[in-house]
A = this chain, B = another copy of it.
């Protein structure tokens, strides 16, 4: 029996989550996405004990989920371990836990793995897929709001293509090779484009058993145009690019039901498809204990222009979960990376000034523009006055995304994979590692 090692007892007895002793005020940041991590990075030198809590041990680069989902990248290229990022930051502590409840009356956060107290609390808990209460779609469809979602999509897609090679049943093969993407925002457009490229370039080589035209890719958008948050110019070009890739775009159409085999639209159309990818909405996610009066449209938490949740003295919210109300943003900001990063940076200034007794400034969002890519070598860009598309926009898209990924190794891996893919039209990671529950078409319910 080896001797027990005694550690300097740095545990507060009253706390289940072990933390070093500190004379500084403690700020607890829940969630290490774009907002949370920007806050940590910009606060790290302050006289604070900064505790970052996340249910994953890694930061995720959400804009490239779709590339993992379509076998272009491995997950480790677009996620980055927090502990590696936070190395050497003496005031910063990472804890792997999922926060369940906030009890603001005694400044305590309860997790699945113990509790801890705070002096300041920041909710940077992000958003999750919103199926708008359609339970059957939630059960059978696949979201795209986590690296695990990306892997689920990849595995299901590859599994279905294998199953299509095995079955002798034409209808089943049809359903296995059809893909319905719901939502014509950037995530949906980029996913549909990448699926189309997979179909056009990989399928004929890897699956000579059946013709590539067997695989149909549908993109369903409720409004009258794709990328409706961007310019009309961008929408029109995107639609053209998608059609060139042979994506069937259904505008002014919504999906109302899905049983895992048949997609039913509001217009009464039915589509055989074993795979439905849902990118048609997100909603804020946060632990219990936040007053209902603070929760606004999209399940987001309303904050004032100083990023503070109303009715609380020391609770802030930033990123997708927050609806920051100010004069210039009566409805909050879009749930994408840029506002999240800017809010994280701004909150660090607010807290720094609060600590030093200086005046604080309201948050102002600076829109740097929008980019979206549609398959390889095509993208659209709205950058201020400049609205354009094509190869040059795609170069900008690639450059912006590559420099935004954390870490030299990740940049290198993504860069190499993109280079190989650029010249070979190949994608590297077509592997099914997790067991995926196989579904068989229930022949009795065929339409």
Contact = CB atoms under 8 A, between A and B. Distances in A.
A83 B430 contact: yes
Interface in A273-305: none
Interface string A258-271: 00000000000111
Contact of A170 (B5, B16, B83, B271): B5
Interface stretch (A202-210, A331-339, A394-402): A202-210
Given A83-B430, A151-B433, A7 B76 contact: no
A115 to B, nearest CB: 11
Interface in A29-80: 56-58, 74-76, 79
A89 to B, nearest CB: 10
A431 B162 contact: no
A113 interface: yes
Contacts of A17: 166
Count chain B CB atoms within 10 A of each CB in A15, A76, A210 and give the residue with the most: A76
B167 A6 contact: no
Interface stretch (A126-134, A363-371, A376-384, A408-416): A408-416
Contacts of A206: 81, 83-84, 87
A20 B57 contact: no
Interface in A404-447: 409, 412-413, 416, 420, 426, 428-434, 438, 447
A96 interface: yes
Nearest to A168: B11
Given A6-B170, A20-B209, A170-B5, A148 B433 contact: yes
A271 B207 contact: no
Interface in A162-205: 162-163, 165-168, 170-171, 173-174, 178, 205
A97 interface: yes
Nearest to A73: B76
Nearest to A1: B270
A241 interface: no
Contacts of A413: 413, 416
A2 B216 contact: yes
A147 B435 CA distance: 12
Which bucket holds chain A's interface residue count? Answer: 35 or more
A81 B431 contact: yes
A214 interface: yes
A439 to B, nearest CB: 12
Contact of A165 (B18, B75, B87, B173): B18
Given A74-B74, A173-B7, A57 B429 contact: no
A113 B164 CA distance: 11
A433 B79 CA distance: 10
Contacts of A173: 5, 7
Given A84-B206, A416-B412, A447-B1, A96 B166 contact: yes
A272 interface: yes
B4 A75 contact: no
Contact of A269 (B1, B5, B426): B1
A95 interface: yes
A114 interface: yes
B168 A18 contact: yes
Contact of A433 (B16, B95, B147, B430): B147
A171 B3 CA distance: 10
28 contacts: A1-B271, A2-B174, A2-B216, A4-B171, A5-B173, A5-B213, A5-B214, A7-B170, A17-B166, A18-B168, A57-B430, A58-B432, A75-B431, A76-B428, A81-B206, A81-B430, A83-B206, A84-B426, A87-B205, A94-B165, A95-B162, A95-B165, A96-B159, A96-B162, A96-B165, A113-B166, A409-B420, A412-B416
Task: List the 7 shortest-distance A-B pairs measured between CB atoms, nearest first.
Answer: A11-B168, A96-B162, A83-B206, A18-B168, A81-B430, A74-B76, A58-B431
